[in-house]
Structure 1
Amino acid sequence: MYPQTRSEYRSSSPAYSSSASTDFPQLSLFSSHQHRNSSTPFSTSSNLPADWEHLDIPDLLRNANVRNLYQKYQGANEKVAACFEDKERLLWQVNELQTELHILRNELMMLKFNPMQNTATAVTQTAPGMASPLFLQPSSSRPAPRSLALPADMPKEVLWTFADAQACPGIVTDTNKCRPKMAQCIRRQNGEIVTANEYSAIQACGKRLVATFLDPLGLPANRAQYGVKKTRTYYAQNFRDIWRTVLEKIEEEEPLVALCANKWKAEYLLASLLRHQGAISGSAASTPGPTIPNTTKNAGGETRKRANVNPEDNKGGTSKRQRSDATSERTRNESDGRKATKSPKFRYTAQEGTNGENAQAEQIPPPTTRSLPVEVQFIHVDQKILSLKDFPQIGDAQKLLNAMNESPNFQDGTPSKNVIDLITRMETADPNASTVDEDNTNASWGHLLYTGGNLIWRNVLTDWEAIGNCATVARLLAAALRTCKIARHLCFERRVDAPSFLSDIYLEQIVEKIWSLWTDASKSVAPPTGQASNAAPLNGHSVVTNSDAEGLAAIDRDRVNDMLKQRNLTKEKLKSWTDLHQIQVVSKKRDAVKAELVTAILGSGICFTVSGFQELLDLVAKKTDSLNSKKGTAIG
């Protein structure tokens, strides 16, 4: 008969120690070597089967100690399940309180905006996850829209319509005509542009209105808009009335912003501020999805991190693929919001003037502001050509630097005043200046340096005569490289995630332009007529004669390529020439073949210079003379 109680088990087991715990038997109790196929799993004797660990659970539960331990386990499991349900219920109550907090904040905001507003006219939406109620002005109290026609007492320079701004030079760029420079759009009644201090005051007014009326807004009624970046389009679609109210408010406080039709200046000014604010806060600027607890028990439910969706990050306007990706991200964020309550490392913040729905990970540091001054005086780029070679190759940069190193005195002249002014502006530019707006800093730093005012780089770098000499090119490239380094340093210090830099694009375009001017100037160089073969050396090499060069003005890629492929110019000669000029040859084999050497020589650009072309002609001539001497010896 099996023991049913603890006392019976203790009395029938002499191996059980009286000093042991009353809940767990000692290990000596299970030291029996009895065979598993015993007639009974447990017996009243002092020994148990040696392979007791292979017994089934019903057989193990016949033991009072095992049964007691199993009952404790079930009780603890039930307590854990009850605690989990309490947690889910408390989180749901937190969400309801946060929704109510949004409602109260919006009521307070609108009462501050219009103290005489009758609260009975409010449009109330109290369902969880729906938009917060908005206390709006009656439509009869709104000012009548201004006419599209320019008033008779104002000049056209006021930029009455957005089309006038697009037609004005310097207001918009060719790449993005829908993003005007608002610092130049805000003007007085006589068409004069406001000063930098006045524009800063207007920006401060707009930021205050955004923080007062737009930032505290709750979730939109459209659930598809959860996680969408807060931009002009977001507020115009989801909170149309409050958006129009803010536009009227900024025109009321800043009359210069109202000098336009259809409030386009106020709208684009607020759009610029929202874009700036979104770049600062990153994911914090996006509307958070509601946290809906899932009461269904999920054994392996992991909490997935909610991705940041920024549909406007791609400023270049690429394909539809990215828009569809952003949509799928928003859909995934909406579904992930139901699991967000599972994470124990999230804290809920409900500070005044911020979104109470924000749930941020504690390990994420707060982002810095984009207007934070950054020290850039220590950034320096050496103007020496050999130092410039250390930077990564961009397009024709390596060809240009090699050619400049071979011919440092190539067509020496005096650079034009515009070129010097352009370089000086790039060298002395300060990204912390008050005149630099948010559209021309960080990843966009350098745009005004290359295109501002009358010094547009394409109009300045017209020909080699305007550049003057190689020293000017080296100074220009050093200033451009410094601009690239400053842009990266600004993004690093201000914690701006920049996938690309505008200064890199300008650097590549400038290098291509200078290399094109160099090759055009090289084609225009011709040796003196009637030059003797023993004339004075040029740059340490023999001067090209008329019989050899047949007019150096005709140097081009095809001619050099044909000369390098001549049979009497062996790969050993070409290998020694590449070693002399430190030209890197990429080869699939241990020893480079002649075609690979020719490709490397053409890619270096040295063969297109006067001295480089002369050296190759000397190699061809020496090899030809050697072959002729060998043939003469054989005939003799």
Structure 2
Amino acid sequence: MSSTYHSLHLTASNYPNLDGDGSDAIPGFNFNHTVGSNTPPRPPSSSRYHDFPTRHPSKQDTLGPPIEDLPLEVLLRNKFIKKIFQDWQEAAAQVTKSSQITQNLYEENIRLNKEIQLLRQGGLQLPHMRYPFPHSYMYCSLILFRALSSQFAHSRTASLAPSDSISNSLSPINPDFPSSSTSFINTQPSARPRHLPFTVLWTLADCADDPDIGITSNNTSQPSMKSALREADGTMITPEKYSEIQSDVIALAGSNLTTLPDPKPTKKGANSKPPTRSMTWYKTFHRNPWNNVVSKLERRHEVLRLCGASWKAEHMLSAHLNAASATAKKKRTGSTATKKTKGRPRPCQDGSSEDAGSESEDDEHQHRAASSKLAKRPRSKSQQEEDGNHTTPKKPRGDADGEELGPQEKDNIDIKDVFGLGDPPENPPPPPPKKDMINISGIVVNPSPSLKRDFPRLANATALLDRLQHIFNHPGPNPPGTPDRKVLDFISRIETADPNSPTLSEDDKDAGWGHYQFTEVGDCATAYRLIAAALKTCRVARFVCTDRKLMDVKSYLSDMYLDLLIEQLWDLVKDIAIGGTPEKEVPNPGGGSDGVTGSELVQGLTVELLKAWISKNPAIMCSSKRPKKLELVSAVLASAHIPTAGDIQLLQSEKSTKAK
């Protein structure tokens, strides 16, 4: 081989296997020459860069274009170049996707910064939120880290968008989608945060110091949740929001708690009673479902999170469960009484019961044998009664006390009782009355005639209304101010009160309807509205007791509150300096002897009081010997002796004295 240096230049003519199967290790070179061969290898040659003498100087090669000038489709015929090109394409795609993810994360970082600024401008304290919002840069770094980890863990061509990283990668720490297996509740601290006012009622003990709750010594641990739920500024929630919370409580409890099975009973026997599904029961046997329901309630309603140890959400659930358990218990009691009255043993021809066992048959056989021996001797009545009492038929199996139901049947009854789908008993006992939905939308009051007709004993009622009307028409030098927000909320709470609410305590039901307190009033229009709301409360109390057939009710708590309201309002307005000339003289307390007022007062009297008034005034003539109320009223109004409000009070006092 020549020692002359050759300048190597690859051409297309030197690539015999460029589109072949690549049998040559390096295309363009012939490796078929072996050691010891007489034929020397043929080196490549070039005419443009021919700086060395060839073995055959007279022979010139026909040269092609250089490799850098070849088109791509020609180069890709070689499998090595094709593999390099495919790797480059895949790397370029990865770089493009990474750039796109980086750009999207940058835009999401800007959006999150704007949201944080808006929240801070709105006065929201981020550190005191239930789930504190993370710092934007840390948050985006975490998203990017999880995105890259997920990308390299699955495949090189996998892509991950920002929405996927939030919903999939961060789902274990997302508070809105907790794991179904966890039951941990991230409760608020026991101490009230400094930025919240005292009226938020952070702990249950705070309710005792709040005047709007009205906690007494009998219900220290059961405050009225309608008044206890407060916004972040300490104001009460609206009735619409409270109804929404109640609906969610009923729905979540019905779908997650009432369907849970009962634990295995430890007490065996026919007298075992079904357990009462209260808050303590669920915390004892089903702690995880209970915690999940409490957590869902607090996520849906922010007002339930404004407390320590989640007591507001738990009290809402407890009130609903207690009402549902009481309803189910009453229905079970009614069905048991119906079975006892209907399931009597059917008598047979021989005088024994149909379900009697072998013992009654043996007793009957013995009595027949004894009676056959003593057939000729007459028996006394005591012996007959003794023989009759000796054969006592057995109680049928269907009438056994404490009859247990199967688990499936018991669950069905509980669900029907909670949602009111159970069939009423055929012959329910009179007590307790049937708790149906009561519609009070048709009760409308007008303070002026309603007070005079329905409550004639309130001496200051007529004077108060006339005084308010006169103050409204002639404000004077010191007109009344605007009503306080508390009294408007108070009137709205009275006007929208629902006697069908399951959260009512025993102090607020039936004859105790109207358990409320009084606050600042404001102007005359608000006073009128407050009187109308109190009157409606009195009518609703009477309507509820009448609908539920509570005939033994003799007094109503709402009447006492109406009396207190009239007296307090009268004390406020009777000494107010008014302007202008009154259109008519304001009647004094106990007055009202004019024709219109006297007629309405007489029509509101009972028959007993009318007869007592006629007996005091012999000049009043009544034609009938047994007159009815209409005839008595006509006779009194036709005479010159029409009773005034003071006369009626005197009659009522005399009646109460005689009753004692």
Fold similarity call, TM over 0.5: no
